[in-house]
Structure 1
Amino acid sequence: MSEVLCFDVYGSTHNQHSIVDEIAAVTGLPTDLAADLSRLWVDHQIGYSMEVSLMDAYEDWRELTVRSLRYALEYYGVGPTDETVETLLAAYEHLEPYEDLSHFGRLREAGHDLYILSDGTPEMLRTLAGNTGFDEYIDGIASVDEVGVYKPHPDAYRTIEGRVDRPLEECTMVATHTFDVAGASAAGMETVLVNRFDVPPTRLGHDPGLVVDSYAELADELS
């Protein structure tokens, strides 16, 4: 396994649904509907990113986050005022990590270089990493914003080559989304699926090189 480990963030290291309580408080929706709204928000973020990539009409992740949030609010009958949107975007900057970050420390101690490789803008990723302490464990950030196309397009993964002195084939993508793992594999990367949701791990014939159920297990495997 490569010593350069590239981590997806939104939905992989950090839980996009960890702000359901904030959504409920801001919108006045009961918690179960706030959770549904959160899922719709995330589904449309991903859907929009793939749509704009196919249409060659790139908009950055913050803009797609706003657009998908406004859609989800309207869908659930909540007026998407600027104040509501800004409040929830501020909460989005404090998404909780899925696991104790000490496991990433174990990976670094074992000699691995850790990078973020994400759809997020550099500013959004720096802010989230700083707010949650993740910045203490990473060596750098590679954002698809640099190439103007989203995962799983091959160019999205090649952004890491500008951060490390290695070819893409010597870097490993670590993600929870099966489409992300498949895209990285198709681009030539080694891959790890963090299968915390126990989903079928294959996508279009691109099997992950390693399947774990947590970052704790990943650290056990690679330390």
Structure 2
Amino acid sequence: MAYAVYVFDAYGTLFDVHAAVRKHAEKLGPDAQRLSSIWREKQLEYSWVRALMGTYLDFWQLTQQGLDTAFALVPGADKSLRNDLLSAYWELDCYPEVPHVLTDLKAAGAKLAILSNGSQPMLDAAAKAAGLTELFDEIFSVDSLRTFKTNPQVYEMVTTHFRIYPEEISFQSSNRWDIAGATAFGCRTVWINRAGMPDEYTDLAPKAVLADLTGLPGLG
């Protein structure tokens, strides 16, 4: 393999963060997509603010807070669906190409890991629901550090665990800010730009940009 370890962000990279709202979109009404977008934005915003303040709450608590804020900003959405949406978040759909890409990498001899802001129970549940658990050598959560990406200590969990240098890691994320953090740490990075977004961190460029995980270097 070209790299010792292939590391994947979880939410937005392996798992579709909008799947929970999509499952209940009809009941939520015409503002469902807006609700989902705000939910994700606030979930991430709260992680960055908490990391800067040094007042940690785990990602599940931030996920709940983000949804509550989204409901407040989208008053037309049915708040009675709150518990249904939160339950669905524990079993998000993975993207269609994910199982075969991971299976092919594993078959080729790669070590695979998840590195995520998600809490350990969230990540374990998502991987199990998608049938991916056995493909990963390790699932890293920031819980043990009580901070969030892009703190360099988060990426250092991988190098410490596998006893490798950052440049031996291929790091994949759909979040451009996460790619910037991993690039600054020294990883070889692949931005999975599923939404076709413009580049925001041109001074911390990824080694490759892909529309999805298909075609990830090291396959075929």
Following TM superposition, by how much is the alpha carbon of 1:153 offset from its aligned partner in structure 2, in angstroms?
A: 1.4
Structure 1 residues without counterparts, runs of 5 or longer: none
Rounded to whole Å, the distance in 1 between the matches of 2:167 and 2:203 is 18
Q: Report what 2:182 is aligned to.
A: 184
Does the CA-based 8 Å contact 1:195-1:213 persist in structure 2?
yes
- 1:68-217 matched pairs, under 5 angstroms: 68-77=66-75, 80=79, 84-100=81-97, 101-201=99-199, 203-217=201-215
- When normalised by structure 2's length, the TM-score is 0.90
Rounded to whole Å, the distance in 1 between the matches of 2:24 and 2:38 is 12
Does the CA-based 8 Å contact 2:116-2:141 persist in structure 1?
yes
Following TM superposition, by how much is the alpha carbon of 1:52 offset from its aligned partner in structure 2, in angstroms?
A: 0.6
Does the CA-based 8 Å contact 2:28-2:78 persist in structure 1?
no
Does the CA-based 8 Å contact 1:142-1:163 persist in structure 2?
no
Between 1:138-147 and 1:193-202, the stretch displaced more is 193-202
Aligned with 1:48 (options 37, 46, 53)? 46
**Structure 1 residue ranges (4+ consecutive) displaced by more than 3 angstroms after TM superposition:** 21-25, 78-81
Does the CA-based 8 Å contact 1:8-1:174 persist in structure 2?
yes
SS at match of 1:191: strand
CA RMSD, 1 decimal: 1.9
SS at match of 1:148: coil
Rounded to whole Å, the distance in 2 between the matches of 1:190 and 1:21 is 33
SS at match of 2:163: coil
- When normalised by structure 1's length, the TM-score is 0.89
Between 1:128-137 and 1:198-207, the stretch displaced more is 198-207
Rounded to whole Å, the distance in 2 between the matches of 1:167 and 1:59 is 30
Rounded to whole Å, the distance in 2 between the matches of 1:19 and 1:143 is 21
SS at match of 1:166: coil
User: Taking every aligned residue pair, what percent have the same amino acid on both sides?
Assistant: 31
Q: 1:51 to 1:204 in 2, by over 3 A?
A: farther
Following TM superposition, by how much is the alpha carbon of 1:91 offset from its aligned partner in structure 2, in angstroms?
A: 0.3
Following TM superposition, by how much is the alpha carbon of 1:191 offset from its aligned partner in structure 2, in angstroms?
A: 0.8
Does the CA-based 8 Å contact 2:183-2:189 persist in structure 1?
yes
Q: Report what 1:33 is aligned to.
A: 31
Task: Report Cα offsets for 1:7-44 as digits up to 9, x if no partner.
Answer: 0010111111112233435xx431x3111101100000
Task: Report Cα offsets for 1:73-97 as digits up to 9, x if no partner.
Answer: 122225756xx43322210011111
Following TM superposition, by how much is the alpha carbon of 1:204 offset from its aligned partner in structure 2, in angstroms?
A: 4.6
Structure 2 residues without counterparts, runs of 5 or longer: none
Rounded to whole Å, the distance in 2 between the matches of 1:45 and 1:156 is 18
Between 1:41-50 and 1:195-204, the stretch displaced more is 195-204
Following TM superposition, by how much is the alpha carbon of 1:162 offset from its aligned partner in structure 2, in angstroms?
A: 4.1
Following TM superposition, by how much is the alpha carbon of 1:172 offset from its aligned partner in structure 2, in angstroms?
A: 2.1
Rounded to whole Å, the distance in 1 between the matches of 2:49 and 2:130 is 30
Rounded to whole Å, the distance in 2 between the matches of 1:48 and 1:57 is 11
Does the CA-based 8 Å contact 1:119-1:144 persist in structure 2?
yes
Rounded to whole Å, the distance in 2 between the matches of 1:197 and 1:41 is 17
Does the CA-based 8 Å contact 1:9-1:116 persist in structure 2?
yes
